[in-house]
Structure 1
């Protein structure tokens, strides 16, 4: 009897960058650039779905990127942003 479902397509080794995008997103989203954190988080989620991995790192990267942008906006609006002259 033949299997009615085809085997999953294998992807070439070395193309799974889920963890790389997630870690880059967390580091950049937390430290310097929220927008890059969001972009790398999205890339991590995309690769996680493609390779069947957990997308948690991507979601954390996006959350930290958004928090960075919101906090930076609040600090700029109140005049307490580092490097701004009062």
Structure 2
């Protein structure tokens, strides 16, 4: 008598979704081009909703991009950024 093979649960999700890709790109672009980081974060959220994955990276990308965008504006308006780069304020 043979025993059935063990059951390991449902199969893994397909690796062809782009949720992680968009989220990581959003986080990376948050540091150099905040508006682009927000766009990639939104793409990550939309892809996560479509494939049923957790949207954590999308939220991080949007939050970090928005925070760095606001900090960049504040530093430009106050002239601190010009002083750091050696420019005239």
What TM-score do the two structures reach when normalised by structure 2? 0.75
Q: Distance in 1 between matches of 2:15 and 2:40?
A: 21
* Structure 1 residue 13: Cα displacement: 6.2
2:28 aligned partner: 27
1:8 aligned partner: none
Q: Distance in 2 between matches of 1:17 and 1:36?
A: 16
Tell which structure's C-alpha radius of gyration is larger: 2
What TM-score do the two structures reach when normalised by structure 1? 0.78
Q: Distance in 2 between matches of 1:59 and 1:85?
A: 36
1:85 aligned partner: 88
* Structure 1 residue 80: Cα displacement: 1.1
Instruction: Mark the runs of 5 or more structure 2 residues left unpaired by the alignment.
Output: 1-13
Q: Distance in 2 between matches of 1:28 and 1:40?
A: 8
Instruction: Mark the runs of 5 or more structure 1 residues left unpaired by the alignment.
Output: 1-11
How many residue pairs get aligned? The number is: 73
1:57 aligned partner: 57
User: Following TM superposition, where does structure 1 have runs of at least 4 consecutive aligned residues deviating by more than 4 angstroms?
Assistant: none
* Structure 1 residue 68: Cα displacement: 1.1
